[in-house]
A and B are shown apart, each in its own frame.
Chain A
């Protein structure tokens, strides 16, 4: 046995309970089954050594782990590594399959059976089966697979009781392995056991062996037979979902819809939240009531001028910091993750990848790179990690560079949208054109300079769904929480540095020193230096500084473009160093600064008199 109990210790799972792993393809409603089964006691924990977050909860005497969605047990990406390790170290597995995609999903089911796991299969989304005029012969399915099959429609909580009953009665069974598999393994001189199969299927390796391919083909044709026997289709019946999917991926209709989606996002973030909500939270609640309260409270007690500056001065830890963090960033971060969760749960993202594939090929990427880039609008640091899903080192290097250079992250995006909305519509258009142009030019240059060519796109487009409100809220909550917890210490640090520079008069010296660049070349007000200093630490913090500095329209526009292109924040710098080495991250850092200042200077000379 390959025991990966170490991982479980790191996950802080209780040791005295038996573990059930919930396993399934992506987007089969696994998380919904999970939350309905375990109730509200969900714990989230990052799987050691990966970017993958694992949920686990409790059902009676069991710990239930919600594993990342995968198409098979192997090591092609981070999610698979995590699921592989969990599956190989437990005995009991609940395999959730999408009733609409049985031909795809049963491959994993049959693989789990071949590994001789004790299994219960959950045939989820069964409500869709009736709606779509499909017939599934459950008894035939049970018989050929040799395991218990429970029918559920988890989003309506149907069938969950039956699943609980099956767990209580311990109906986990080892099913019927793929016929001829034993023979195939023996011919190759391998034992038909978990160990033998992991070796034969190259489970711990991302390369592909001939034997692995043979096993896969054998399993595929067996699954196709099961599928044909058990599932009757009425393919003629035109479904709304198929139609919508076609509309989304066909360029003539798909591109306007994509543009509209992005505009809605801009309107929601930039107009509704960044202006209306923030106006209330930052200016009224925090700026007026809170500042008045804290200054009134502390001024009589803190007489030392330096401490006063650091605590409640212009950049004070108890003045500017909570105003910006709670009044400005918090609503923006929540709003962004709300929007992203809806996009993610609807199944739209992979369709965007298909739409942009052709254009992305020109900058050395394939459409899949849109996923880290869209996530980059949330947090460039997280997105830098997510580049691991891309096919080659070359693609990762290009994507990380573009993320560091041209992608503003959630709160920064919100602030920028808000400030641009005030400038006027044409400023928005020109801003998008300029950032898009830089993105394209830099991407093309990198594509030319770095040896190789883009790998080809090959992705699964999940069934479109209306996102469940509860799931979206949960996701938004966890993501915003993680983001804010991670950001908090860096914000405090940044505030202290700036407060220190201010209190000691160093800020003025730096401002004088950078004056030729900031006021001379970029033609911006002197205080913009503070924005740049803050941007080095956190881009959103820097952008927040823009809100308070009085400028002309032209100056504001130059400042927005320059800070968007300016260096990646210290956390994404650290992440880039971790993923690609210090030489690379320094290169990205210096290049972004140079590009930002050159583009900003050029614009300044065109737009500012």
Chain B
């Protein structure tokens, strides 16, 4: 499943990030493949907002589609 399908309140593990740029940004924000994150908000057909520990990031829908996750 991909990150755009996550629902609010769900906790998931990031399996892979396809985009090179996004991978680098994610690494610096503290999120890498294998990170456990929680979806704290989701805008319908819009971005997903994730939290890991206290770090929050917003990820646009198109990018979220390229991020593989598992429960």
Q: Cα distance A108–B21 when bound, in Å?
A: 17
Q: Which A-chain residue is minimally distant from B8 (CB atoms)?
A: A250
Contact of B57 with A460 in the complex, beta carbons under 8 Å: yes
Q: Does B56 contact A (CB under 8 A)?
A: yes
Most A CB atoms within 10 A — which of B27, B28, B45, B61?
Answer: B28
Q: Which of A52-60, A146-154, A241-249, A291-299 lines the interface with chain B?
A: A241-249
Chain B proximity of A360: nearest CB distance (Å): 10
B57 to chain A, nearest CB (A): 6
Q: By the criterion CB–CB under 8 Å, are A457 and B60 in contact?
A: yes
Residue A513 CB within 8 A of the other chain: no
Known contacts A103-B30, A103-B53, A249-B40; is-contact A357 B58 (Cβ 8 Å): yes
Selected from B43, B45, B56, the residue in CB contact (under 8 A) with A461 is B56
Q: Does A573 contact B (CB under 8 A)?
A: no
Given known contacts A221-B32, A249-B40, A357-B46, A456 and B59 CB-to-CB distance under 8 angstroms: yes
The answer for the CA separation of A245 and B38 in the assembled complex, in Å, is 14
Contacts of B56 in A (CB 8 A): 245, 460-461
Interface 1/0s, chain B 29-53, versus A by CB < 8 A? Answer: 1101000000011011111010111
21 A–B pairs (Cβ distance < 8 Å), ordered by A: A71-B25, A104-B28, A104-B29, A108-B28, A213-B23, A216-B28, A235-B53, A242-B40, A246-B40, A251-B41, A251-B43, A254-B41, A354-B41, A354-B43, A358-B43, A358-B46, A361-B46, A366-B60, A455-B60, A456-B62, A458-B26
Cβ contacts under 8 Å, A132 to chain B = 54
Q: Contacts A355-B43, A357-B43, A357-B46 hold; do A107 and B60 have CB atoms under 8 A apart?
A: no
Cross-chain pair count, CB within 8 angstroms: 121
A sample of 16 more A-B contacts (CB under 8 A), given A103-B30, A219-B27, is A71-B29, A101-B54, A108-B28, A213-B23, A216-B27, A220-B32, A242-B40, A246-B40, A251-B43, A254-B41, A354-B41, A358-B43, A358-B47, A367-B58, A458-B63, A461-B58
- Chain B CB within 10 A, most for which of A100, A353, A361, A461: A461
Q: What class of interface size applies to chain A in its complex with B?
A: 35 or more
Q: Cβ of A457 and Cβ of B32 under 8 Å apart?
A: no
The minimal Cβ–Cβ distance linking B54 to chain A, given in whole angstroms, is 5
A458 to B64, CA, bound (A): 9
Residues on A with C-beta less than 8 A from B53 are 101, 103, 233, 235
Beta-carbon contacts under 8 Å, A70-127 to B: 71-72, 100-101, 103-104, 107-108
Asked if B24 lies at the interface with its beta carbon under 8 angstroms from chain A, I say yes
* B22, CB-defined interface residue at 8 Å: yes
The verdict on A213 contacting B63 (CB below 8 Å), with A104-B29, A246-B40 known, is: no
Contact of B21 among A208, A249, A358 (CB under 8 A): A208
Does chain B have a CB within 8 A of A159?
Answer: no
A246-B41, A357-B46, A357-B47 are known contacts. Are A101 and B55 too (CB-CB below 8 A)? yes
| Chain B residues closer than 8 Å to A219, beta-carbon distance | 27
Chain A residues packing against B (C-beta within 8 Å): 71-72, 100-101, 103-104, 107-108, 132, 208, 212-213, 216-217, 219-221, 224, 233, 235, 242, 245-246, 249-251, 254, 350-351, 353-355, 357-358, 361, 366-367, 454-461, 463
Contact B55 A460 (CB under 8 A): yes
- Check A458 against B22 for contact (C-beta < 8 Å): yes
Contact A208 B20 (CB under 8 A): yes
A350 smallest CB distance to B (angstroms): 7
Contact A358 B45, CB 8 Å, known A350-B58, A460-B55:
yes
Chain A nearest CB from B3 CB (Å) reads: 11
Contact B49 A354 (CB under 8 A): yes
Q: With a CB–CB cut-off of 8 A, which chain B residues contact A213?
A: 20, 23-24
- Kindly list chain A residues whose C-beta atoms are within 8 Å of the C-beta of B58: 249, 350-351, 353-354, 357, 367, 457-459, 461
In the assembled complex, the CB of B37 is this many whole angstroms from the nearest CB of chain A, namely 12
